[in-house]
Amino acid sequence: MKKFRTFICGFAMAITSFAAQLKGAEVVVERYGGWTNCLVMRGGDCKVVVVPSVGGRILHYSINGENILFENPELWGDTLLTKSNFWAGGYQCDIGPELRGIPDHKWLWQGPWSARAPRQFTAYTFSQPDLTVGLQLDKEFVIDPDTGDLGITQRMRNIVTNDVSYCLWDRTLCKGGGFAMFPLSSRSRFKHGWSIRQGKKVPEYRYESDKPEDPRVRIMDGVLVAQAKALPTAREMKVGADSDAGWIAYARGKILFVKYFPVFANANYSDGGNSVEFYCSDRVAELEPLSPEVTLKSGENYSFPEKWTLLELEKEVTSYEQARALVKRIPKSPFAR
């Protein structure tokens, strides 16, 4: 208990020091959704809000005031210091693979993080060490002051003496009701280029690729398009693919959200062989780029970068066909090899 109190006091002092450090920088410290000391960055018509108190996650990424990310107002202001479990929404970086059933590590990915602003238009957040999984996580956010494009570097570091093996698992919760899309690989190991998760929980989860079917999914000219909604017979759905395109996009209303990430040939994608996954329910659409699983020796680290961009559309996207047509507006991934 003494160590826990020491950590809380240290965290509070670090946040106070951080707020003073940011004075005059292009990163502003504000209150957001009940949380204090949130990091706000602006570029072009876009705004980003990072909340260190809940895992250094992004809870707001908007263009002209329209936030694409899902937020849960019922839990605004809550943290693991006030609730044993909560669901804040937004973007979070976890570790995987999900199929393995990793021991509980919620303090690593949604506990209080520390933060600093090393440069203009840049914020850096980092977790407390987690000895259960042997890792410390950190994230760097850089916003383009002209376009609002966001660069993210996610990093895990081995803090124990033995080897550890994980992947980085981006889980970005968007508001539901839109259409997600990602290209399928012509060299896919899957019979139909994609797979669907079956089972109710770990360790029952597995990915079915021989006959993947769901009414919410259509394959249109080599692109998987999925509508983010619940069905009367199936509230949730999760699909994945070994896509080598290096992007996943989500169209909702008049906004197109694109997440770019690197894909590595012949790497160990241990969550069902997927480099990208998509989950939806009655409330959310979750975009999930995955890094390969890597083994880290003591002191080693591994980074997984992404680029985000928001585009305003002339009219609302209301059909699979309209969503598929947007693919031609998505530039090639900057991480393409």
C-alpha 326: how far from its chain's center? 22
C-alpha 124: how far from its chain's center? 16
Give the SS3 label for residue 201. Answer: coil
Q: What separation, in Å, do the N-terminal and C-terminal C-alpha atoms of the chain show?
A: 50
**Rounded-to-10 torsion of CA 108, 171, 54, 200:** -70
Q: How many CB atoms lie within 10 A of CB 113?
A: 26
pLDDT per position as a tens digit, 276-308: 999 999 999 999 999 999 999 999 999 999 999
Q: Which amino acid is residue 264, in one-letter code?
A: F
pLDDT at position 15: 40
pLDDT per position as a tens digit, 46-103: 999 999 999 999 999 999 999 999 999 999 999 999 998 888 999 999 999 999 999 9
Domain range annotation of the chain:
2-329
Q: Under CATH, to which class is 2-329 assigned? A: mainly beta
pLDDT at position 235: 95
pLDDT per position as a tens digit, 210-262: 999 999 999 999 999 999 999 999 999 999 999 999 999 999 999 999 999 99
C-alpha to C-alpha distance for 130 and 317, rounded to whole angstroms: 42
Q: How many CB atoms lie within 10 A of CB 271?
A: 21
pLDDT per position as a tens digit, 98-149: 999 999 999 999 999 999 988 899 999 999 999 999 999 999 999 999 999 9
Share of the chain above pLDDT 70, in %: 93
pLDDT at position 4: 31
